């Protein structure tokens, strides 16, 4: 079993347990459930920097990245830095995140928030909405075409933007559909953790122009962004490069200032 299979097997158990504890009616009754979302897709279309900055305490590939900073400080710092949006890891077991992180970020900032999670069930999309998310991530590597279709359609009905993540041509071909807003190419193989920007470059021409293109993972300097822009990317998802420093917001600010 590779790491992604393990995460998904655990996720099925976690979601079943959560469903038995917090009923859908409770999620739908939250104040945030009624909140009007802000489109990250539009924000990226109108940006000349395109940075989506991530809050990530640890990961299966890196162990601890940063356990010291508070999610509120990181969120405020990223917003001040001019990030287009923030990605908040909510998986607990493998990434040290939680839905509370999403709530705390929502309370701290106005910018679009992405729930970074392994979504396998509509219930998690209701959770995302109830905790202040504007965008959800769907990962092609762990979903069938039919699942991508039903989950993305449901997300859209809640007002969430959909970022669909792919890592290879096969995933891309079976995933492209009108209910997606953004196509993200993960430069990291979630099964082996290998990282290469070549993944974004080689898949870019296969992504139709009506989708906002996002390059994800392994971006650690401006050169990478300058290299990727000509391939049509307008969004860049950056986690570790900011989170590994004592002041992720300050690091993002320096990075974004140089891009302008």
Q: Which residues are catalytic?
A: 54, 56, 116, 165, 186, 216-217
Least Å distance, CB 133 to ligand IGP, is 15
Interface with ligand IGP, residue 175, by CB under 6 A: no
Span near ligand IGP by CB under 6 A; candidates 25-33, 126-134, 215-223, 247-255 = 215-223
Nearer to ligand IGP, 104 or 164 (CB): 164
Helical (H) or strand (E) element with 59: strand 58-59
Interface with ligand IGP, residue 217, by CB under 6 A: yes
Partnered with residue 214 across adjacent β-strands are 184, 235
Interface with ligand IGP, residue 14, by CB under 6 A: no
Nearest CA to 182 out of 207, 206, 199, 200 is that of 207
CA Rg, the chain, in Å?
A: 17
- Reduced to 3 states (helix: H, G, I; strand: E, B; else coil), residue 15 is helix
Q: In the chain, which ranges are E strands?
A: 51-55, 58-59, 63-64, 85-89, 113-116, 135-139, 161-166, 182-186, 212-216, 233-238
Q: What is the DSSP letter of 188?
A: B
Is the CB of residue 56 less than 8 Å from the CB of residue 65? yes
Interface with ligand IGP, residue 249, by CB under 6 A: no
Angle between helices 71-81 and 99-108 (to 10 degrees): 50
Interface with ligand IGP, residue 240, by CB under 6 A: yes
Q: What is the DSSP letter of 66?
A: -
Backbone phi, psi, residue 127, to 5°: -60, -45
Interface with ligand IGP, residue 162, by CB under 6 A: no
The 117-156 contact track toward ligand IGP, x by CB under 6 A, reads ----------------------x-----------------
Give the up-direction half-sphere exposure of residue 108: CA atoms within 13 A in the CB hemisphere.
21
Place of tokens 């040290």: 96
Nearer to ligand IGP, 161 or 240 (CB): 240
Nearer to ligand IGP, 35 or 188 (CB): 188
Least Å distance, CB 34 to ligand IGP, is 28
Interface with ligand IGP, residue 41, by CB under 6 A: no
Per-residue tokens: 57:
């305490």
Partnered with residue 259 across adjacent β-strands are none
Interface with ligand IGP, residue 54, by CB under 6 A: yes
Span near ligand IGP by CB under 6 A; candidates 18-26, 41-49, 171-179, 237-245 = 237-245
Least Å distance, CB 237 to ligand IGP, is 4
| Interface positions, 63-122, toward ligand IGP (CB under 6 A) | 116
Q: Which residues lie near ligand IGP (CB under 6 A)?
A: 54, 56, 116, 139, 165, 186, 216-219, 237-241
């Amino acid at each position: 079993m590779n790491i992604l299979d393990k995460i998904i097997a655990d996720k099925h158990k976690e979601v079943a347990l959560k469903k038995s504890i917090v009923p859908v009616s409770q999620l739908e009754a939250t104040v945030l459930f009624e909140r009007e979302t802000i489109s990250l897709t539009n924000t990226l279309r109108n940006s000349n920097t395109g940075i989506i900055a991530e809050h990530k305490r640890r990961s299966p590939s890196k162990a601890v990245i940063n356990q010291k900073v508070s999610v509120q400080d990181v969120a405020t710092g990223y917003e001040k830095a001019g990030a287009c949006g923030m990605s908040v890891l909510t998986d607990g077991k493998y990434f040290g995140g939680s839905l509370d992180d999403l709530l705390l970020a929502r309370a701290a900032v106005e910018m679009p928030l992405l729930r970074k999670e392994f979504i396998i069930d509509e219930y998690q999309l209701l959770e995302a909405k109830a905790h202040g998310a504007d965008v959800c991530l769907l990962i092609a590597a762990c979903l069938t075409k039919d699942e991508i279709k039903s989950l993305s359609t449901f997300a859209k009905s809640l007002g969430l933007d959909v970022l669909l993540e792919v890592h290879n041509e096969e995933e891309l071909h079976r995933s492209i559909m009108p209910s997606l807003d953004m196509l993200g190419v993960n430069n990291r193989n979630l099964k082996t953790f290998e990282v290469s920007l070549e993944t974004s470059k080689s898949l870019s021409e296969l992504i139709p122009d009506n989708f906002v293109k996002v390059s994800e993972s392994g971006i650690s300097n401006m050169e990478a962004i300058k290299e990727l822009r000509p391939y049509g990317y307008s969004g860049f998802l950056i986690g570790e490069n900011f989170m590994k420093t004592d002041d992720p917001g300050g690091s993002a600010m320096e990075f974004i200032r140089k891009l302008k």
